[in-house]
Amino acid sequence: MAMRAFYIGAAVAASSLANIQSAALAFTTTPEGIKKAGAGVPIAAPGDLSLFDPNEAGKLQGTNELRDRVSSGSAFVVAPPRTIVDAPPAGAEVGEAQHFLEHLDANGELPLNFAKPQSPATAAVLGRAKLIDDDAPGDIEHVVMKLPDGFHYVEGQSLSVIPPGADAKTGRKHKPRLYSIASTRYGDLLDGNTVSLCVRRAEYHDPVTGVV
C-alpha cells in the first residue's frame, strides 16, 4: 500500500514539474513573462546577433569578419588574407618590393663594428624636424643623417653618436651617445644610405634659481 502511494506521488510530482517547466518556458519567451518572473534573459536563437552586433559594438567598421564568424558558427571557414597586392585598385601598378638589403640579417648575423669610438666614421646631417610644440618641456627632434658607403644596419639596432667639439666642463672630446635607430634598414629616403634618429633633449629647471 505504501509502495503504491509512492508511485502515485511520484507521478503527480513529475506532472507538476512538467507544468512548471512549461510555464517557465512560456514566461521566458515574452517580455511580459520576464517581467512577471522578475528577472531573466529572453531566449535568442544562436547566431542572430540580436544581443551583440560586432560591426556596431565591436567597432569593426563594417568589415563583417567577426559577424560572419559568429553567424556561421562551426561552419565558418577562414578565408585567405587579401592585400592590396592581391587585389590592387583599378589603374594601380604593382612593382617589385624593395629588398636589396634583406641579405644583411638573412643568415642570422647582424652588421656590426663598422666603426669604433677610437676611429669613428663621419655622417652628415641632412635635416631635422621638431616633433613637439614649442610650449612643451624639453625637445624631441627627428634627425636624418647620410651614412658613409658600406655603413648598414637592421631594425632594432642602436647607433652611437659622438658630437663634434669638446665638453665645456672637461675640455675633452664628447663621449659616445647611444640612440635607438628609428628608421628601417632602407632609411626614410629609401636609399639604403641614410639613418633616422628620434632624439630627446631633456631640460631640468632648478627649483631655487629657475635656471634651465
What is the per-residue pLDDT across 89-119, written as a single tens digit (0 to 9) for each?
777 776 776 788 988 988 888 899 899 888 9
Residue 124: CB partners within 8 Å, gap ≥ 6? 145, 146
Q: Which of 2-11, 71-80, 137-146, 192-201 has the lowest mean pLDDT?
A: 2-11
Q: Which spans in the chain are helix H? A: 2-28, 31-37, 54-57, 65-72
pLDDT in tens, 27-72: 455 667 666 666 655 556 665 666 666 666 655 545 556 666 667 7
pLDDT in tens, 137-171: 788 999 999 999 999 999 999 999 998 889 888 99
| 142 grid coordinates | 627627428
Q: For position 89, what pLDDT does the model report? A: 72
- % of the chain exceeding 90 in pLDDT: 30
Smallest CA-to-CA distance from 150 within 116, 106, 112, 119 is with: 112
Smallest CA-to-CA distance from 174 within 187, 190, 163 is with: 163
Mean pLDDT over the full length of the chain: 76
**Entry pTM:** 0.52
Q: For position 10, what pLDDT does the model report? A: 43
212 vs 111: which has the higher pLDDT? 111
Question: Can you spell out the DSSP letters for 93-146?
Answer: ---PPP-TTGGGGTTS-----SSBTTB----EEEEEEE-S-TTSSSEEEEEEEE
Q: Which of 12-21, 115-124, 125-134 has the lowest mean pLDDT?
A: 12-21
